[in-house]
């Protein structure tokens, strides 16, 4: 069978997954992984705006120490909805379900994911979960915090815990379907020659993520279900007054929710690896170590959950063990960080928008990660736990880390997804605005936390005001920063320049087909003959568009020369 | 026609594609499972102290292994299902053992009044 | 790693079992797969991963069970004794036999005994239904005896044990309930497969769905193999 | 009351707090020691190796095992070092000194009640003498709370149905924030108060003054043990628990802190949690040689009363 991808159509007006059919029905019943990715992109963006609106309310309330903008309950509901929406409905699906869905089959040289219908089902399940949660919001909201701690959530809270619990339960299955699809696809649908150690690092990261999803998500599903059931029966499975034990709930909750933080960061790390390679035109330094560190994070990530319970009353013995293991899980992250840095050494570095995001990611992730170590240290955690220090820690990783990674990936693959180039100028501006706004929002929270300001506080002592004002001001800048990409990315759909197949000169397979790709991605299954991220021009003469006659194609045989700056790629 | 994945040229990733488990073996396994069921019920009527629980669990594990290896064909499958079931089992044990070990060590640091 | 790499193309070895021809016309082959073989592998990997997830879904409940088992050992013994061990034992046997039927059904399809496969699948469903009926009977008698956690809970044992005993029955209902829900899904799946078998969809050349359904059914069986000792036996029945 | 100034806050006001500070600032140094070089190197590379021509192909460097070992090994060793450093601090923080003064704390939505050793209760306030180890024994009447004194760099969860303890030794006279740091419902942010650290002399005067006001108001102060003794009589405990022995129940003399043989052959340490359970769920752990006849007092005694009963039982030496 022919093993060569034929030259992709050169004009973006050719047939592709976007214009193959245009009815609403063709979108709602699609099984094309690329279309499902777009559906997900739209849904999670809506959820992000909702979560962001809640964040806006939080920040406005905290502008003054005894603000009465929100009532106590309204405030509590705001941060709960903010946490629930951002974690379960935005960040967890963000990179896997949008970028992963779109890119993973293409990077494998496959026509689609292994189970396209399950993939569509996963989106519908997500929507049902989201609707449950939003209905609960209209119902009066929920005020337990995203952690649903018992016995408050089972016996005391008078809010819509059950609908939100069911929403989280349901959305869990959408992650499970995505993870299942990814694992099966990576195992069985790789292009000929694409051996495990030729896989792009994004694939490795998604593989590790999927494992965590498959092993962790069912536990949170059953746990929130238990909370919901107990709210009906009031037997007190987690209520000490009735013989239950709240620490059991915490164990079960964090058994998932700690690994979940790696569900959020691992895909980001994969994106960063891709971008560092492409924009420095070098293989990722220490590829096998970076690949394996993803798996190491996935596995070690399951061994540390009780670090969220250091002062909750767990045994001192367990606290020591879990603290120790938490230190260990930092090592693979360290390995990645160092390898990324080394990748730039003697590279050919181009500071395009995705790269600016990726570089900011490193700086911010370092701060977020190291403050994680402050919390892993038993001595300091006893002081810092439940304060704004934690809020700052996880926003540094989740907003500064994961969202920067998501934006980096979105800007990196946008030309592939839409066939259009966005405005590089506005891209750079917005990345800088977001960077400044972000640090201004969350850095003061480290200080507030160290100073003792507890989290989930509706009012606070006056001495913290200056820090909170800074933080609110930063959040305003951040909001503007987030609106910018929405504008210029959407604008690029209308008047963006055609992107060409491979505007960045990348080597992975998704760049070997046209932009936007045809419905089955490749006209012929590609064959891979070389390690990924190989930027040398092979001795032969492969044409600039990456399609030599009869030559096998794939990572490594990609051209090193197409790197005309993105803005001028339209002639290709 | 080219196989898609390099691995599939060496073996099946998915499982017992072409193995046929003989009906005799299946029936014998079913019989063994029934015998074990009778055994476990019988054992529960004898006072073995704490051993009762151990016996019940050991028999259950044996039964589960029979089902997994013979009915589900893990015995003849390739690495992937084995690895996956091992990982699942490991996580299950991790969850239970780590949680219980925390529960059972809980009063390690002396409380006041000592 | 070498700087200059020009490895030969991985030879494309055709698989013996894969029907070749034009890929769009192979029966049962999803359009996005390259071969039936690949499709089979993908399905099997997918199913095993799914089973892994299922284990951990029950895992949360198992963890809760053992947690309180360790905390309230005496109560657990006391409560176990209220269970209907006869019904439990029969149900265990019924499930094991049904599992055997499914395994045999796969064997029958593989060896082209389609008629026999139909009978075996039908028997599996019958076993599944028997299980549910017996379970329903047990639920009913628990209900009349007041062994339902919540406001209606009635407890004859020592008063201090009432609360932990309620926890036991809470776990009992939720665990067996979740298991029964799986049974209902399992029966529907087997029913669908039976229907397809009647339509002669499966043959020794293509029987992946039968295998998948079988795997799911076995998992349900395995869960019960643990639920049975945990909810009916542990703590012991001597002295009854 | 006054706010806490940041500069004075920078120095912890308790003995263990100082250790936490040392740990904290060391970690800050380590963070800087790693982050500055990493970010510096990145910046340097970005400028040094920026793309010079569109078709530039840099040398393809794949990796170096030596480097990998180095940058796995060094963080690993540092991580181990920090683990031991932080673990020792932690052990200091969780093991109270034997001679600590006992304070009882009850949290409920949304207030703190604290009880001085002489039996006086305070609401949302806690007065303690300086330079004296203080042990808090805490429980909650509803949901989980946490008792947090940032200036002492310590906090602990307060759970219903169980006692948790924490301790500190204040090193400086002053007034410090007291927070509830675990989210506990609507007015979680109002569950705040002040910890006042006083000179021992002032503290005694304060106690005496408070007691005098109370007696003047017709509510003479009793020690928890005295209150407990009264409860022990009024609840009928004394009918079964005869301290000289020979009652239906075991004598409770010296039981606190001892090893108790149970009916099922195991032994437990009679700590607060055990004693509490023995009162609320006597059947959960039955003492060897005694019938399981003690009624449950769940719902019949309040948290405050249990605290008093425990104080009384502990006074039976
Ligand atoms: C994407 C999300 C994400 C990620 C990736 C992380 C990563 C880490 N987190 Fe974080 N964390 C959260 C999200 C995340 N966290 C959230 C949401 C919470 C709060 C939940 C709540 O209560 O609401 C939380 C809370 C939290 C706690 C609990 C605090 C408490 O409640 O008391 C702890 C404690 O150990 C912790 C530790 C860590 C550690 C050690 C890492 C590590 O993985 C970080 C590793 C990275 C580095 C260390 C940087 C790079 C390393 C080097 C450059 C080498 C040098 C290294 C050494 C010298 C060791 N986190
Ligand atoms: C992915 C996760 C994620 C993300 C992206 C964010 C984003 C932000 N978060 Fe959040 N946060 C959490 C996860 C996340 N957070 C979690 C898990 C908690 C804990 C909850 C709990 O305690 O239970 C938390 C808690 C939390 C708190 C602490 C509340 C408390 O403890 O009392 C604060 C306070 O400042 C905060 C602020 C912000 C801000 C300013 C942003 C900004 O980055 C957001 C900026 C985005 C926008 C502003 C949206 C852009 C859209 C528009 C501008 C449209 C405008 C529309 C309208 C306003 C109608 N978050
Ligand atoms: Cu009490 Cu928060
Ligand atoms: Cu964590």
Reported confidence tier of residue A537, pLDDT bands at 50, 70, 90 = low
A111, A183, A222 member nearest C61 (Cβ): A222
Q: How confident is the model at residue C26 (pLDDT cuts 50, 70, 90)?
A: low
Span D61-70, pLDDT tens digits: 888 889 999 9
What pLDDT is attached to residue A243? 80
- A569 pLDDT band (50/70/90 cuts)? very low
- As a whole number, the mean pLDDT across chain C is 84
**Cα(A339) to centroid of ligand 4, in Å?**
24
A285 contacts D62? CB cut-off 8 A: yes
Q: What is the distance between the alpha carbons of residues A91 and A260, in angstroms, rounded to a whole number?
A: 10
Cβ–Cβ < 8 Å for A434, A478:
yes
Tens of pLDDT, residues B28-61 = 999 999 999 999 998 888 877 778 888 999 999 9
Instruction: Enter the tokens of residue A517.
Output: 């790709």
Q: Which residue has the higher pLDDT, B1 or A310?
A: A310
The ligand with the least distance to the CA atom of A390 is 1
Task: Report d(CA A62, CA A69) in Å as an integer.
Answer: 9
pTM of the model: 0.88
| A59 preceded by a cis bond (ω within 30 of 0) | no
Nearest ligand (C-alpha, residue A148): 2
Rounded (10°) CA dihedral A209, A210, A211, A217: 100
Q: pLDDT by residue (tens digit) across A140-185?
A: 889 999 999 988 998 888 888 999 999 999 999 999 999 999 999 9
Give the pLDDT of residue B10: 35
Per-residue pLDDT reduced to its tens digit, A437-479: 999 999 999 999 999 999 999 999 999 999 999 999 999 999 9
- pLDDT tens-place string over residues C121-162: 999 999 999 999 999 999 999 999 888 887 788 888 777 678
- Ligand with the closest atom to the CA of A250: 1
Stretch C1-25: mean pLDDT: 37
Q: What string of DSSP letters covers A457-492?
A: -SS--GGGHHHHHHHHHHHHHHHHHHHHHHHHHHHH
Distance, in Å, from the CA atom of A293 to the CA atom of A335, rounded to the nearest integer, reads: 7
For chain C, give the percent of residues with pLDDT over 70: 87
Query: Which DSSP state fits C203?
Result: B
- Contact, D71 vs A334, CB < 8 A? yes
Ligand 3 binding pocket includes D184 (Cβ within 6 Å): yes
Spatial contact of A458 and A75, defined as CB atoms under 8 Å apart: yes
Cβ–Cβ below 8 Å for D292 and C158: yes
What is the band of B18 on the pLDDT scale with cuts at 50, 70, 90? low
Q: What is the pLDDT of residues D116-127, one digit of tens each?
A: 888 888 999 999
Quote the ligand 1 centre to A335 CA distance (angstroms): 16
* Nearest of A215, B98, A177 to residue C55 by alpha carbon: A215
D5: closest CA of chain B, how far (Å): 34
Query: What is the DSSP-derived secondary structure letter of residue D294?
Result: P
Query: Parallel, antiparallel, or unpaired for β D193-198 and D125-129?
Result: parallel
d(CA A194, CA A176): 25
Q: From the list B2, B80, B87, which residue is nearest A187 (CB)?
A: B80
Q: What is the pLDDT of residue A5?
A: 42
Q: For residues C183-191, give the mean pLDDT.
A: 96
Strand partners, A171: none
Would you say residue A515 has pLDDT above 90? no
Contacts of A300 (CB under 8 A, 6+ apart): A325, A328, A329, A332
Average pLDDT of the segment spanning A486-507:
90
What residues have CB less than 8 Å from D129, skipping those under 6 apart? D101, D170, D197, D198, D199, D200, D203
- Whether the CB-CB separation of D177 and D109 falls below 8 Å is answered with no
Going by the DSSP 8-state scheme, the letter that residue C23 receives in this structure is G
CB contact under 8 A, B87 and A211: yes
Model confidence at A567, pLDDT cuts 50, 70, 90, reads very low
Helix (H) or strand (E) holding C137: helix C114-144
Asked if residues B31 and C61 have their Cβ atoms less than 8 Å apart, the reply is no
Give the burial string for A305-326 (b: 16+ CB within 10 Å, else e): bbbbbbbbbbbbebbbbbbbbb
Q: Which atom of ligand 1 is nearest to the CA of A329?
A: 43
Separation of alpha carbons D287 and D290, rounded Å? 6
Indicate the top mutation candidate among A310, A369, A371 to test ligand 1's pocket, ranked by most ligand atoms within 8 A of CB: A369
Asked whether residue D301 carries a pLDDT value surpassing 80, the answer given is: yes
Q: How much is the pLDDT for B6? A: 38
Q: For position C6, what pLDDT does the model report?
A: 34
Choose from B45, B72, B104 for mutation: most chain C CBs within 10 A: B72
Range name among A43-57, A138-152, B74-88, C3-17 with the lowest pLDDT average: C3-17
Structure confidence at residue A334 (pLDDT) = 94
């Amino acid at each position: 069978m022919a093993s060569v991808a034929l030259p992709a159509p050169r004009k973006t007006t050719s047939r592709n997954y976007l214009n193959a059919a245009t009815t609403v029905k063709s979108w709602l019943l699609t099984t094309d992984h690329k279309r499902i990715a777009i559906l997900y992109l739209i849904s999670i963006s809506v959820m992000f705006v909702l979560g962001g609106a809640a964040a806006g309310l939080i920040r406005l309330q905290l502008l003054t120490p005894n603000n009465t903008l929100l009532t106590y309950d309204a405030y509590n509901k705001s941060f709960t909805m903010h946490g629930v929406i951002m974690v379960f409905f935005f960040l967890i699906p963000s990179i896997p379900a949008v970028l992963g869905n779109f890119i993973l089959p293409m990077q494998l040289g496959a026509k689609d994911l292994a189970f396209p219908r399950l993939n569509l089902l996963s989106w519908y399940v997500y929507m049902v979960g989201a609707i449950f949660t939003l209905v609960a919001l209209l119902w009066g909201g929920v005020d337990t915090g995203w952690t649903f701690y018992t016995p408050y959530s089972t016996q005391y809270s008078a809010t819509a815990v059950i609908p939100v619990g069911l929403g989280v339960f349901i959305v869990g299955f959408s992650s499970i379907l995505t993870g299942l699809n990814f694992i099966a696809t990576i195992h069985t649908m790789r292009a000929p020659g694409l051996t495990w150690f030729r896989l792009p690092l994004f694939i490795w990261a998604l593989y590790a993520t999927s494992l965590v999803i498959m092993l962790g998500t069912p536990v949170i599903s059953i746990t929130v279900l238990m909370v919901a059931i107990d709210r009906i029966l009031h037997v007190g499975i987690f209520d000490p007054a009735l013989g239950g034990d709240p620490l059991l709930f915490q164990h079960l909750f964090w058994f998932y929710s700690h690994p979940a933080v790696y569900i959020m960061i691992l895909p980001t790390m994969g994106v960063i690896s891709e971008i560092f390679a492409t924009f420095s035109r070098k293989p990722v330094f220490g590829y096998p170590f970076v690949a394996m560190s993803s798996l190491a994070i996935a596995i070690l990530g399951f061994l540390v959950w009780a670090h969220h319970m250091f002062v909750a009353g767990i045994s001192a013995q367990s606290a020591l063990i879990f603290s120790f293991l938490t230190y260990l899980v930092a090592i693979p992250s360290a390995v990645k960080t160092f390898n990324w840095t080394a990748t730039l050494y003697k590279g050919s570095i181009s500071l395009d928008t995705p790269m600016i995001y990726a570089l900011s990611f490193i700086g911010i992730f370092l701060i977020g990660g190291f403050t994680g170590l402050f919390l892993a240290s038993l001595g300091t955690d006893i002081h810092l736990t439940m304060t704004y220090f934690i809020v700052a820690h996880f926003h540094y990783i989740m907003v500064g880390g994961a969202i920067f990674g998501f934006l980096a990936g979105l800007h990196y693959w946008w030309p592939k997804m839409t066939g259009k180039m966005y405005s590089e100028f506005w891209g750079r501006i917005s990345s800088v605005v977001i960077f400044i706004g972000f640090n201004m929002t969350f850095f003061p929270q480290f200080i507030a936390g160290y100073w003792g300001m507890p989290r989930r506080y509706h009012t606070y002592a006056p001495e913290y005001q200056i820090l909170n004002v800074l933080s609110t001001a930063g959040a305003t800048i951040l909001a503007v920063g987030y609106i910018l990409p929405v504008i210029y990315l959407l604008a690029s759909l209308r008047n963006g320049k055609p992107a060409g197949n491979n505007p960045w000169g990348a080597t992975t397979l998704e760049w070997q087909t046209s932009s936007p790709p045809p419905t089955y991605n490749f006209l012929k299954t590609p064959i891979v003959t070389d390690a990924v991220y190989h930027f040398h021009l092979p001795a032969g003469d492969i044409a600039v568009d990456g399609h030599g006659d009869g030559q096998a194609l794939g990572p490594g045989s990609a051209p090193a020369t197409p790197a005309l700056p993105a803005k001028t790629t339209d002639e290709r | 026609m080219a196989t898609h994945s390099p691995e599939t040229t060496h073996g099946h990733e998915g499982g017992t594609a072409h193995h046929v488990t003989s009906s005799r073996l299946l029936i014998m396994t079913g019989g063994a499972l029934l015998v074990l069921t009778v055994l476990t019920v019988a054992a529960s009527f004898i006072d073995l102290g704490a051993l009762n629980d151990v016996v019940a669990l050991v028999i259950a594990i044996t039964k589960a292994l029979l089902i997994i290896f013979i009915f589900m064909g893990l015995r003849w499958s390739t690495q992937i299902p084995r690895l996956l079931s091992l990982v699942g089992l490991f996580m299950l044990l991790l969850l239970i053992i780590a949680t219980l070990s925390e529960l059972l060590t809980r009063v390690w640091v002396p409380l006041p009044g000592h | 790693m070498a700087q200059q790499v020009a490895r030969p193309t991985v030879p494309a070895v055709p698989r013996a079992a894969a029907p070749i021809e034009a890929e769009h016309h192979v029966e049962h082959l999803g359009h996005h797969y390259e071969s039936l073989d690949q499709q089979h592998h993908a399905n099997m990997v997918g199913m095993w991963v799914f089973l892994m997830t299922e284990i951990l879904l029950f895992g949360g409940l198992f963890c809760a069970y053992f947690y309180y088992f360790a905390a309230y050992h005496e109560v657990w013994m006391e409560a176990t004794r209220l269970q209907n061990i006869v019904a439990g034992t029969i149900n265990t046997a019924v499930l094991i036999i049904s599992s055997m039927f499914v395994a045999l059904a796969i064997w029958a399809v593989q060896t082209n005994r389609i008629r026999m496969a139909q009978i075996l699948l039908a028997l599996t469903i019958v076993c599944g239904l028997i299980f549910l009926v017996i379970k329903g009977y047990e639920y009913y008698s628990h209900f009349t005896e007041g062994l339902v956690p919540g406001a209606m809970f009635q407890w004859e044992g020592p008063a201090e044990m009432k609360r932990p005993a309620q926890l036991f029955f809470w776990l009992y209902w939720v665990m067996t309930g979740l298991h029964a829900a799986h049974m209902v899904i399992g029966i529907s799946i087997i029913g669908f497969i039976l229907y397809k078998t009647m339509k002669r969809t499966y043959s020794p050349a293509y029987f992946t769905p039968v295998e998948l359904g079988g795997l799911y059914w076995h998992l349900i069986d395995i869960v019960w193999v643990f639920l049975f000792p945990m909810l009916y036996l542990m703590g012991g029945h001597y002295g009854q | 009351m006054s706010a806490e100034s940041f500069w004075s806050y920078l120095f912890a006001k308790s003995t263990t707090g100082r250790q936490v500070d040392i740990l904290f600032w060391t970690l800050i140094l380590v963070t800087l020691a790693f982050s500055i070089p990493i970010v510096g190197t990145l910046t340097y590379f970005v400028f040094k190796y920026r793309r010079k021509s569109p078709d530039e192909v840099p040398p393809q460097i794949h990796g170096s095992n030596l480097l990998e070992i180095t940058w796995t090994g060094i963080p690993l060793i540092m991580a181990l070092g920090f683990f031991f450093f932080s673990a020792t601090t932690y052990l200091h923080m969780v093991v109270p000194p034997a001679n600590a003064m006992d304070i009882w704390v009850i949290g409920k939505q949304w207030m703190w009640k604290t009880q001085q050793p002489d039996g006086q209760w305070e609401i949302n306030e806690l007065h303690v003498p300086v330079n004296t180890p203080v042990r808090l024994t805490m429980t909650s009447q509803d949901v989980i709370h946490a008792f947090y004194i940032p200036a002492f760099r310590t906090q602990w969860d307060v759970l219903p149905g169980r006692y948790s303890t924490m301790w500190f030794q204040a090193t400086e006279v002053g007034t410090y924030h007291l927070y509830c740091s675990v989210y506990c419902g609507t007015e979680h942010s109002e569950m705040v108060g002040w910890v006042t650290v006083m000179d021992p002399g002032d503290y005694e005067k304060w106690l005496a003054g408070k007691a005098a006001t109370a007696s003047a108001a017709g509510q003479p102060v009793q020690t928890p043990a005295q209150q407990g003794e009264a409860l022990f009589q009024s609840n009928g405990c004394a009918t079964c628990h005869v301290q000289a022995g020979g009652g239906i129940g075991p004598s409770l003399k010296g039981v606190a802190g001892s090893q108790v043989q149970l009916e099922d052959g195991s032994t437990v340490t009679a700590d607060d949690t055990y004693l509490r359970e023995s009162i609320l769920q006597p059947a959960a752990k039955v003492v060897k040689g005694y019938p399981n006849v003690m009624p449950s007092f769940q719902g019949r005694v309040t948290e405050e009363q249990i605290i008093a009963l425990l104080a009384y039982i502990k006074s039976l030496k």
